[in-house]
């Protein structure tokens, strides 16, 4: 089993900056037909579900069949083959299948409808262009994302194993919100955690620029002082 967190990254696009931490999890696990692998996103230690859109790139290969959470997404069918979209009240608690498909800001979504904006939910940009969700979250073409609920509910996408074998999991969680995503992220097998991680915010470029200028200014003043 390999857990490989990456460095926080800033990505500029069209004047909007997804302030993104990222964490990955890869593993090969034995499963029997009907076992459930879940990818879950909660609202993190700040206790707020605002600005918590979290991207998920996940593939599971079992018996030579490659399943991709983004490429396989359906805006009309749930369950959708091996995939199910929904939420749970607490981590590992009974799964609630979402039954309300909608389009929000051009993004296909499965809504849990616990908040006015439909969250907790699963989101997918099925277009060839960049879409901005709720004025703050930037989804690239073909990107899949989850957003937790207002009361600490977890957005969950599930994979149900169609056969017995060794399931190869590759996953990457990324923050997509321009104000800084702060979420707890998890991968579970039959309700038991395989991985627990955190996607944290980093400063926006303007903040970084001010900080770097401030540090440079202090250094310059110190240098001048030493030469007086």
Q: Tell whether 223 is covered by a domain.
A: no
Torsion sign, CA atoms 39, 44, 49, 54:
negative
Would 212 be classed as within a structural domain? Answer: no
CA dihedral of residues 135, 140, 144, 146 (deg, nearest 10) = -30
Report the C-alpha gap between 163 and 60 in whole angstroms: 13
The mean pLDDT of 93-121, rounded to a whole number, is: 97
45: left (phi over 0), alpha (psi -120 to 50) or beta: alpha
In a domain, 210, yes or no: no
Higher per-residue confidence, 50 vs 171: 171
- State the sign of the Cα–Cα–Cα–Cα dihedral 133, 71, 40, 44: negative
Q: What was the pLDDT predicted at 111?
A: 98
* Residue 61 belongs to some domain of the structure: yes
Percent of the chain at pLDDT > 90 equals: 74
Is the alpha carbon torsion for 118, 15, 174, 61 positive or negative?
positive
Confidence check: pLDDT of 105 > 70: yes
Domain assignment present for residue 221? The answer is: no
pTM assigned to the model: 0.81
Which uninterrupted H or E stretch holds 118? none
Q: What is the pLDDT of residue 216?
A: 36
Number of domains within the chain: 1
pLDDT given at position 201:
63
Mean pLDDT of 5-11: 30
pLDDT value at position 208? 38
Please tell me the predicted confidence (pLDDT) of residue 137: 96
At 142 the three-state DSSP class reads coil
pLDDT digits (tens, 9 = 90+) for 17-66: 343 489 999 999 999 999 999 999 999 988 889 999 999 999 999 999 99
Q: What's the confidence (pLDDT) of residue 200?
A: 86
The verdict on residue 198 lying in a domain is yes
Range of the domain at 119: 2-202
26 or 206: whose pLDDT is higher?
A: 26
Cα–Cα nearest to 153, from 42, 77, 21, 24: 42
Tell me the C-alpha to C-alpha distance, in Å, between residue 117 and each of 104, 113, 130, 186.
9, 7, 20, 23
C-alpha 12/C-alpha 14 separation (Å) is: 7
**C-alpha to C-alpha distance for 199 and 203, rounded to whole angstroms:** 13
Give the Å distances, CA to CA, from 4 to 28, 41, 91, 101, 136: 14, 18, 22, 34, 27
Alpha-carbon span 161 to 156, nearest angstrom? 16
Q: Is residue 55 part of a domain?
A: yes
In a domain, 64, yes or no: yes
Percent of the chain scoring above 70 in pLDDT: 79
Tell me: pLDDT of 165 over 50: yes
């Amino acid at each position: 089993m390999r857990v490989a967190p990456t460095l926080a990254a800033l990505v500029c696009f069209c004047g909007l900056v997804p302030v993104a931490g990222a964490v990955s999890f890869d593993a090969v696990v034995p499963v029997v037909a009907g076992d459930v692998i879940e990818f879950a996103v909660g609202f993190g230690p700040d206790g707020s579900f605002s600005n918590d859109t979290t991207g998920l790139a996940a593939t599971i290969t079992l018996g030579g069949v490659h399943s991709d959470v983004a490429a396989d997404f359906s805006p009309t069918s749930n369950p959708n083959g091996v995939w199910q979209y929904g939420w749970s009240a607490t981590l590992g608690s009974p799964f609630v299948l979402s039954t309300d498909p909608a389009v929000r800001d051009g993004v296909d979504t499965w809504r849990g409808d616990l908040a006015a904006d439909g969250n907790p939910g699963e989101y997918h940009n099925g277009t060839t262009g960049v879409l901005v969700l709720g004025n703050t979250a930037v989804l690239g073409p073909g990107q899949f994302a989850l957003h937790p609920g207002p009361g600490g509910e977890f957005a969950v996408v599930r994979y149900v194993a169609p056969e017995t074998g060794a399931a190869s999991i590759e996953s990457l969680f990324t923050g997509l919100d321009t104000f800084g995503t702060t979420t707890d992220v998890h991968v579970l097998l039959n309700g038991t955690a395989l991985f627990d991680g955190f996607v944290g915010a980093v400063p926006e470029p303007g903040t970084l620029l001010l900080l770097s200028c401030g540090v440079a200014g202090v250094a310059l003043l110190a240098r001048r002082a030493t030469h007086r």
